[in-house]
Structure 1
Amino acid sequence: MDFNFENELAGKIALVTGGTKGAGKAIADRLLKAGATVIITARNKPEEQIDRRHFIAADLSKPEGTQQVVDQLLHQFGHLDILINNMGSSETPGGGFAVLSDNDWESTIQTNLLAAVRLDRGFLPSMVQRGAGVIIHIASIQGRHPLYDATLPYAAAKAGLINYSKGLSKEVTAKGVRVLTVSPGWINTENTIKFLERIAQSSNSSVEQARQSVMDALGGIPAGRPAEPEEVAELVGFLASPRANYLSGSEFVIDGGTIPTI
C-alpha cells in the first residue's frame, strides 16, 4: 500500500485534549501536518497564535466540560475520526501516601482517567455507527513504574487508563474502532524545565544536576535524556494513520529504555 505521509489524514477530524502545550501541542501539529482538521481543548486559550487549529475551552476534569466538548464538536463538524486523549497532570504534594487526601486522589483520577472515559463514551457511538475511528490514550510509564513519593495517584490513574484502554479495544475493534495506548517516559517540555529550575533553586544546585537527579529517581534513562515532544508526536501520528490499520489493543512505550523490565 502506498501512502502520502504529508496528506495521509486529509479529510479526517481529530481532537487532541490538552493540545495547547507540550506533547499535546506537538501531537496537534503533527496531525495538522498530515492533513487532518485539528481541534484542541484546554481550560484556557493559549496566548500564542493557533493558526489552522480549532479551539474549545473546557475543563475536562468535570462531566459538564467533557459534554460541552462532545456537543460542540459534533454540532460543528458532524463526527470525529481521531480522538487523542492526551490531557493529564499530577499536582499532588510530595511526602508519600500519608499526605494525600481524598481530594488529591479524586481530582487526579478525574483528570487522568475519567475525562478520557467520558470523552470515549461521548464519541464512540458515532464512530461505531460509521464503522471507523481511532482512539489513542496517552498514559505514562508510571502506570507500571510508579514514583511513590509524589505521584502515586497519577501512577494509579494511568495504570487504570492502560487497563481500561485494553478492555475497550476488545469491545470495539471488531466494530471498526481502533483503540491504542501510548505510554511516554519523561518528556522535555516547558513545564519540565520549570520543574527542574525549582529543584535546582531549592537544592542549591544547577539545572543539569537537577536533571540528573530526576533521571536517577527514574532508575536511569539509557538514552541519556528525556524525550522531545515531537518524538512522542511522531509515534502518535503513525498510530493514528492508515499505516497502522492492523494495530489495536496495544500499548506503545516510548521512554528511551527507562523501564528496566519487559
Structure 2
Amino acid sequence: MSSSDNGGRDTAPEVVPYGEFDGKRVLVTGGSRGIGAAISQYLRARGARVATVARSRPTQNPSLPDLITGDLTQPAEAERVSHAVLDRLGGIDIVVHSAGAATLSDGGVLSMGEHDWEVALETNLMAAVRVDRALIPAMKSQGSGAVVHISSIQRRFALGASVPYATSKAALTAYSKALALEVAPYGVRVNSIAPGIVETEMSQDFANSLDDGKAELMGLFGGVPLGDVAKTAEVAELVGFLVSDRCPSVIGAEYAIDGGTMRSV
C-alpha cells in the first residue's frame, strides 16, 4: 500500500507551530520516545513549555529541553520529580501520562511472575496516580487544568502474552474516570486515550519478541480494518484536542485510536 493509497499516512504530518498553547506549562511522562515524544513535540511547537520525565537521559536526544530524570515507579522519586516539575515550570496546566511498560511471555497468564505484574502495575497505573496526586492540587487551586491518561485497547482485548499490561491499563481507565468526576467541579478536565497498535519502539519490541512482523502483530488483534497501524502523530493530535480549550465539556471520556480494531459497541 503506497502513501497515495492511504492518504499519506506513511508520512507523519508536518508540525506547524502556532500559539494555541502559549504560556501553558506541561508535563509529559514517558516524553523522551514514542508516543510521548510525539506529544511533547506537538505541544512544544504550539507554544507550550513542556517538561518530560525519563528514568535516564536518552542517548538519541541528550539535549531534550526541560528533561527531569527519575523513576516514577518509586513513591519517593515520583514525589521528588513532581516537585521538580512545579519548581522548573512555576506551576502546571497540563499533564499527559504516556509512560508505559509491559513484559511478555509466550507461556500465557499463569507463567507471569511477581516481577511481570509489578512492572505493569507500577509503571502503567501507580506512576500516574502518584504524579496526579502531587500535581492536580495546583490545578484545583488555580481553577483550571487538563490531564490525559494514555491507556490501551488491550484493557478490553487482553492477549495471553501481556495480561499484566492489559490489567494495568484497565485499572488506569477506571481510575481516570473516577478522577475525572472528582476534579471536574474544580475546572480540571481528565480524559483518556486508548490506542491500538501504534508504530513505536514498544510495539516493535512486542512484535520481535513473538517472532512476528507488523502484519502478524495486527493479526493477533483479529486484524485492523484500516489495514495499517496508527502513527504517533495521530495520538499527539488527539491529545492536543483534549487538552485544548476547544472541548470544555469533554470530561471522563475515552477515545480509541485503533483503525477500527475494536468491534464492540
Length-normalised TM-score, structure 2: 0.89
- Per the alignment, residue 201 of structure 2 pairs with 190
> How many residues are aligned here?
250
Q: Which amino acid aligns with 1:251?
A: E
Structure 1 residue ranges without an equivalent (≥5): 201-208
Q: For residues 81 and 33 of structure 2, what CA distance do their matches in structure 1 show? A: 18
The answer to which of 91-100 and 191-200 deviates more is 191-200
Distance 1:5 1:245, change over 3 A: farther
Q: For residues 115 and 91 of structure 2, what CA distance do their matches in structure 1 show? A: 35
Q: Counterpart of 1:243 in 2: which secondary structure?
A: coil
| Deviation for aligned residue 1:5 | 7.8
Q: Which amino acid aligns with 2:258?
A: D
Q: Is residue 252 of structure 1 aligned with residue 255 of structure 2?
A: yes
Q: For residues 64 and 115 of structure 2, what CA distance do their matches in structure 1 show? A: 38
Q: For residues 206 and 110 of structure 2, what CA distance do their matches in structure 1 show? A: 23
Q: Is residue 154 of structure 1 aligned with residue 160 of structure 2?
A: no
| Deviation for aligned residue 1:191 | 3.7
- Per the alignment, residue 80 of structure 2 pairs with 68
User: 1:99-178 alignment to 2 at 5 Å?
Assistant: 99-147=111-159, 149-178=160-189
Q: For residues 247 and 50 of structure 1, what CA distance do their matches in structure 2 show? A: 36
Q: Is residue 212 of structure 1 aligned with residue 212 of structure 2?
A: no
Q: Which amino acid aligns with 2:173?
A: I
| Deviation for aligned residue 1:49 | 3.6
Q: Is residue 181 of structure 1 aligned with residue 184 of structure 2?
A: no
Q: Is residue 97 of structure 1 aligned with residue 100 of structure 2?
A: no
- Per the alignment, residue 11 of structure 2 pairs with none
Q: Which amino acid aligns with 2:189?
A: R
Distance 1:225 1:150, change over 3 A: same
CA contact (8 A) 2:101 2:123 kept: yes
| Deviation for aligned residue 1:6 | 1.6
- Per the alignment, residue 24 of structure 2 pairs with 12
**CA shift digits 1:153-203 (9 cap, x unpaired):** 110110011111111111100111000001100001134335444544xxx
| Deviation for aligned residue 1:246 | 1.8
